[in-house]
Structures are given as structure tokens and as C-alpha cells.
């Protein structure tokens, strides 16, 4: 949802709920079930909910980039420090994910156990399609293959680029 015209009281209420101690500026008020901070703005007899990091980006940059995600470079969903936020397409935002999905026993994004074959399978998702990269005896072998493929295909995989 687009950010409505902000009043001085909206901005003051927003910053009163931010803890600026440390590198990440932590949102201390309401949050969604997925861990993102949210701000309630009262307009025309109803509350408009805006994600806190999106409002911070708007306040720092003067624009709400329609159709774009606001990516946390720090991977902290409660951080509203504008220096830790960047515009990204949804695909770029997903490329920048920090870790494997919950329940992934390998602990490595893109590597899962294939019980039928008693091997670790490697895959990368790109443009909505899963790219199968083979089966491997060890997690490190499979991990090296998925990291190499992400480096080839992705533009916003900062963690992989830091290691490479």
C-alpha cells in the first residue's frame, strides 16, 4: 500500500518508537506475524497499516518506490535504519535471503536431503523455476555448487559474494 501524506504527528510518533542504539535502528512497536514492524496511520476514519521499514525509507528518500520491495541489507526485519535499506525487485529481495528455509536439515539454502537416493540434492530457484544441480555425498560439495550457480545468476546475493 502506498504511504499517504504524512503529518508531523505521524512522523513524531514513528521516531518515538525507534531505538537507535547500535547499527540497526530497531522498531519497538507493533509487528506482523512474520516479524516486520508496522505503523498504523489514521486516515478518513480508518487505520492504514504501513511497514515501518518502508516508512523509514520514505522519510529518508522522499519517495515510496511503487512496485518495489524495500530490502534489509542487514537481514533484521525490525531494522528501520535507512542506511540498511535499499530498493529491490521482489526477485532481488529473495536472492538476498540470509539462510535456508525453516526445517532444512542441511542448514544450507538450496541443499536438501534426498532420502530415496541417500544423497544431498542441490537446487537453485531462478525466475520461478527450480534448477536441479545434482546429488552429492556431502553438504559442502552440494553447497559449493549452489553458491557457484547463485553467483552466476543472482545480482543481490551479498552473503555469497562476501565469501567468494
Q: What does the pLDDT look like over 77-135, one tens digit per residue?
A: 999 999 999 999 888 888 777 677 777 889 888 999 999 999 999 999 888 889 999 99
Indicate if the pLDDT at residue 158 is higher than 80.
Answer: no
Grid cell 537507535 is found at 20
Domain count, the chain: 2
Q: State the average pLDDT for the chain.
A: 90
Residue 68 vs residue 4, higher pLDDT: 68
Q: What does the radius of gyration of the chain's CA atoms come to, in whole angstroms? A: 19
Residue 157 vs residue 142, higher pLDDT: 142
Indicate if the pLDDT at residue 163 is higher than 90.
Answer: no
Indicate if the pLDDT at residue 14 is higher than 80.
Answer: yes
3-state class (DSSP) for residue 21: coil
In a domain, 2, yes or no: no
Same domain? For 75 and 101 the reply is no
Same domain? For 106 and 148 the reply is yes
pLDDT at 100: 73
CA distance 2 to 97: 24
In a domain, 106, yes or no: yes
Question: What is the largest distance, in Å, between two alpha-carbon atoms of the chain?
Answer: 61
Same domain? For 125 and 55 the reply is no
The range of the structural domain enclosing residue 67 comes to: 8-88
CA distance 4 to 54: 12
Same domain? For 109 and 56 the reply is no
In a domain, 27, yes or no: yes
Same domain? For 84 and 27 the reply is yes
How many residues comprise the chain? Answer: 164
CA distance 50 to 46: 13
Amino acid at each position: 500500500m502506498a504511504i499517504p501524506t504524512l503529518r508531523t504527528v505521524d512522523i513524531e510518533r514513528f521516531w518515538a518508537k525507534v531505538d537507535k542504539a547500535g547499527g540497526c535502528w530497531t522498531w519497538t512497536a507493533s509487528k506482523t506475524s512474520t516479524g516486520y514492524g508496522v505503523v498504523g496511520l489514521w486516515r478518513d476514519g480508518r487505520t492504514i497499516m504501513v511497514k515501518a521499514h518502508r516508512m523509514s525509507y520514505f522519510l529518508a528518500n522522499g519517495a515510496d518506490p511503487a512496485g518495489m520491495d524495500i530490502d534489509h541489507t542487514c537481514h533484521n526485519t525490525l531494522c528501520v535504519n535507512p542506511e540498511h535499506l535499499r530498493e529491490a525487485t521482489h526477485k532481488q529481495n529473495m536472492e538476498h535471503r540470509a539462510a535456508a528455509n525453516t526445517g532444512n536439515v542441511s542448514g544450507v539454502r538450496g541443499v536438501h536431503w534426498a532420502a530415496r537416493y541417500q544423497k544431498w540434492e542441490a537446487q537453485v530457484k531462478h525466475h520461478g523455476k527450480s534448477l536441479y544441480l545434482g546429488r552429492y555425498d556431502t553438504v559442502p560439495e552440494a553447497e559449493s555448487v549452489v553458491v557457484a550457480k547463485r553467483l552466476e545468476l543472482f545480482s543481490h546475493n551479498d552473503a555469497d559474494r562476501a565469501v567468494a
